Each structure stands twice: as structure tokens, then as C-alpha cells.
Structure 1
Amino acid sequence: MGKTRVISKGYRHGTRDKYSKKYRTKGRPGIARYLVNFKRDPSIQKGLPYSLYHGRTGIVFNVNRNALGVEITKIVGNRQLRKRIHVRIEHVRKSRCNEAFLHRVKDNDKKKAQAKLEGKKLVCKRVPEGPKPMKTVTASPEDVEVLAPLPFVENYF
């Protein structure tokens, strides 16, 4: 007979958990949320990005009245393509992926200025952590227990 039902390949197929909201956060956001945060919101269907882009980081290249143009890297086969899509601001939030880098740059600038005042040379290159220092384990002869395999015994039944 074959299949009697066709599996839908709609825009939001297979996103029951991905686009579900947390407990007690259902419904549309308040007015203040539009002014403060950028967060992906499944309760707003307009300007919803395709599920492939969920969780990705992109670069904003355009700002419109009610949408942002975002450039995202998409892997197709063995190459990387730069895709440009427009998404409503409700579905985008500010990325914190380079926060540690910016903090490190600020600290390095302060250290460089301090070293310049003192007339010293500063090396800002990060050095990987080396091996742990050597440890010596001491034990009395009574505490040492020698482990040896049991002698082999042939059993013929």
C-alpha cells in the first residue's frame, strides 16, 4: 500500500522543543522588552529565521525599521558560504562571544600604559600553563603492599 500520510516539510517542522518557551514565559513579550533586549521569541511568527540558523552567530550588516540584516556563515558541502538574511529583532540577541577578548584587550592596554610609565618592557603574549610541579610520595615499609598475580593452577575435572 505504501505511506498513507505525507510527512510535512513546513517552515517550522521538527521544532517542537526548539521553539518552545519556558514555563511561565508564554505569550507575547511586554513593550519594555522591545526597547531593551534582543531575544529569539517563538511567540512572534513574523521574521522568524529558518531553524538551520538557530544558535548561530552572525554579523549585522543592515538595520531596518523592524528587522536586522545578519550575515551568517553556512557550510554547504566542502565550502563556507556567507548568507545574508533579514530577521526581526525579537529573534536576535547581542552576542557575548568576544567579551573575554575585549576585556583582555582593555587589561593589556592598562598594563602597557603602566609599563611605559615605569620604563619597562611588557610581553602581552599568552603563555600556556606548563606541567604541574614534581611530587614525592613517602611511605613507611609497613604501608607498602606488593601486588602480584596468583600462581596458575591447572584444574582437570
Structure 2
Amino acid sequence: MAYIDLGDAAAEPGIRGLLRYRPETGRALMQLADALLRGDNAGDRELIAAYVSALNDCTFCHLSHAAVAAEHLPEGRPLVDAVLADPATAPISPRLRALLHLAAATRLDGHQVTEQLVADARDAGATDAEIHDTVLIAAAFSMFNRYVDGLGAFAPSDPAAYLPGAAHLARHGYTR
């Protein structure tokens, strides 16, 4: 049960109910999500969002973005689960591993992002645009996580509950 009265929107889980409750802010948040998570390497972008959300212990964002990442990635859910369990041992590229390390530092505190972490990401093949977007995804999802959990939004704990929405988001994005 959310901490505030969301009216009819309370039936929608996670951020969806909050966005419906305040559509004037919801539109801007979904435009940001669409800009950050769509396009090249959408699976990696969703995986970064899921990873940050898991580190922040945000059930809704963690499970929903893990499901969307699995829709985008050819290796599907087994790869997503391996990354969420331990990026250091997951079968991912050095580039993605370095970006996840950068995302983990960002979610703690922007000052945890160092020149060395950025250099490591570049050395692993990340472009400046990927580094920029990773930091922004991690920062934005830390905000989204705090929004969802800070208002006590309902979040199903069963990963299967996120599958229908994940397929839709992977195909159509966040603003449709």
C-alpha cells in the first residue's frame, strides 16, 4: 500500500501508479527513461538500470528492468541473472563490466566516479557517449528507485509479473 492516497492509480504497481497519479511529472520521467534506455545497446542500458536498481534494493525497478533487458539480450534471462549475481564473473564483455563498475560507483555518490574508472571504461572499449549515458542511467535510476520506494509503491515480488510489460516496453519504449 502506497504511503499516499493514489486513488485509482494505486492498482498500478511501482512507478506506473505514481506516474498515473501525477501525469504532468510522469510524462517528463518517461521521456527521460525513453531517451536513456532505447537505441543502441538497449539490452546493456536496461541491464545497467536493473543492476543499479538491484544495488539500491528497489524491487519494482530491479525486476521490471531485468525483464526488459532479458527481452533485448540474445542470451536472455540467464545472462541477466548472472550479471545481477556477480558482474565480475558474468560472461560479459570487459566494456560492459567496466560500465557496470562505473554505474555502481555513480549510484553511491557522484564523487565515487574517478578519472581512473572512466579511463578503465575507455580502455575496455567504451565511448565517451556510453560513459556519459551510463553515469546518467545510474543517477536517474537512483532517483527513480528512491521515488518508487520513498512513496511505498506496490511492487510484485514474482519476476513473472513483469514479463508482459517487459515485452511491450522492449518493442514500444516508455512513452507509448
Q: Could you tell me the TM-score, scaled by structure 1's length?
A: 0.22
| Larger relative contact order, structure 1 or 2 (CA cutoff 8 Å, min sep 6) | 2
Structure with greater strand percent: 1
Which protein has the larger Cα radius of gyration, Structure 1 or Structure 2?
1
**TM-score of the superposition, structure 2-length normalised?**
0.21
